[in-house]
Chain A
Amino acid sequence: MTFNATLEIIDNIAQISLSGELDASTALIFQEKIGAAAAQDINTLILMMKELEYLSSAGLRMLIFTKQKMGPGVAIYVVSPQEMVMDTLEKTGFHHSVNVIDEYDAAKIASALS
Chain B
Amino acid sequence: MQTNFKGKIMGDRHPFKEQLIEEIKSLRQEVTALKNEKAAFEVQRKLLENLVDTEGFSVETEVLKVSLQKTLDLATELTQAEKGSLFLLEPSGKIVDAILSRSEVTPKQTAKLIGTVLDKGLAGWVIRHRQVGLIADTEKDSRWLTLPDQPYTVRSALAVPILRGEKLLGIITLLHSQPDRFSLQIAEQMRLTADQMALVLENARLYSKLDKYSKALDAELETGRQIQIDFLPYEIYQPANWQIDARFYPARQVSGDFYDTFFLPSDNVGLVIADVCDKGVGAALFMALMRSLIRVFSSQAKLQGRTSTILEENQPVPGSWLGQSMLTNLSHLEALQAVSLTNNYVAQNHWQLSMFATLFFGVLDPVTGLLTYINGGHEPLFILGNSGIKNTLKATGPAVGMMPNVKFAIKQIQLEPGDILIGYTDGVTEGKNPDGELFTNKRLISLLEQPAASVSQLLDRIKTNLFDYIADAPQFDDITMLAVQRVF
* Interface positions of A (Cβ within 8 A of B): 23-24, 27, 56-58, 60-62, 64-65, 68, 90-94, 96-97
> In the complex, are the beta carbons of A58 and B399 less than 8 A apart?
no
* Interface positions of B (Cβ within 8 A of A): 275-280, 351-352, 354-356, 358, 377-379, 395, 397-399, 402-403, 406, 426, 430, 476-477
- C-alpha spacing A109/B40, complex, angstroms: 69
Residue of B nearest to A1 (CB): B436
> In the complex, are the beta carbons of B377 and A97 less than 8 A apart?
no
> In the complex, are the beta carbons of B395 and A93 less than 8 A apart?
yes
**Which one of A61, A68, A90 contacts B277 once the chains associate, using CB atoms below 8 Å?**
A61
**Which one of B280, B354, B395 contacts A91 once the chains associate, using CB atoms below 8 Å?**
B395
A58-B278, A94-B398 are known; give 4 further A-B pairs, CB within 8 A. A24-B280, A57-B358, A65-B354, A94-B399
Chain B residues near A92 (CB-CB < 8 A): 356, 358, 377, 395, 398-399, 402
* Residues A93 and B278 in contact in the complex (CB < 8 Å), given A57-B426, A61-B354, A64-B356: no
Chain A residues near B403 (CB-CB < 8 A): 97
> In the complex, are the beta carbons of A94 and B402 less than 8 A apart?
yes
> In the complex, are the beta carbons of B278 and A91 less than 8 A apart?
no
Ordered by A's residue number, 17 sampled pairs between the chains whose C-beta atoms are within 8 Å are A27-B278, A57-B276, A57-B278, A58-B277, A60-B277, A60-B399, A61-B355, A64-B354, A64-B402, A65-B354, A68-B352, A91-B358, A91-B377, A92-B377, A93-B377, A93-B395, A93-B398
The majority secondary structure among interface residues of chain B is loop
Interchain residue pairs A-B with the least CB separation, the first 3: A93-B398, A57-B277, A92-B377
Chain A residues near B426 (CB-CB < 8 A): 57
- C-alpha spacing A56/B251, complex, angstroms: 14
Residue of B nearest to A57 (CB): B277
> In the complex, how many angstroms separate the beta carbon of B445 from the nearest chain A beta carbon?
15
- C-alpha spacing A64/B358, complex, angstroms: 14
> In the complex, how many angstroms separate the beta carbon of B44 from the nearest chain A beta carbon?
36
Chain B residues near A68 (CB-CB < 8 A): 351-352, 354
Residue of A nearest to B430 (CB): A56
- C-alpha spacing A90/B377, complex, angstroms: 8
> In the complex, how many angstroms separate the beta carbon of A14 from the nearest chain B beta carbon?
19
Chain A residues near B379 (CB-CB < 8 A): 91
Chain B residues near A90 (CB-CB < 8 A): 395
Chain B residues near A58 (CB-CB < 8 A): 277-279
- C-alpha spacing A78/B403, complex, angstroms: 18
Residue of B nearest to A96 (CB): B398
Residue of A nearest to B401 (CB): A64
- C-alpha spacing A68/B401, complex, angstroms: 13
Chain B residues near A96 (CB-CB < 8 A): 398
- C-alpha spacing A68/B353, complex, angstroms: 10
> In the complex, how many angstroms separate the beta carbon of B253 from the nearest chain A beta carbon?
15
- C-alpha spacing A60/B426, complex, angstroms: 14
- C-alpha spacing A61/B277, complex, angstroms: 7
- C-alpha spacing A97/B351, complex, angstroms: 15
Chain A residues near B397 (CB-CB < 8 A): 93
* Residues A61 and B377 in contact in the complex (CB < 8 Å), given A92-B402, A93-B399: no
Residue of B nearest to A88 (CB): B426
- C-alpha spacing A65/B352, complex, angstroms: 8
- C-alpha spacing A86/B280, complex, angstroms: 25
Chain A residues near B277 (CB-CB < 8 A): 57-58, 60-61
> In the complex, how many angstroms separate the beta carbon of A100 from the nearest chain B beta carbon?
14
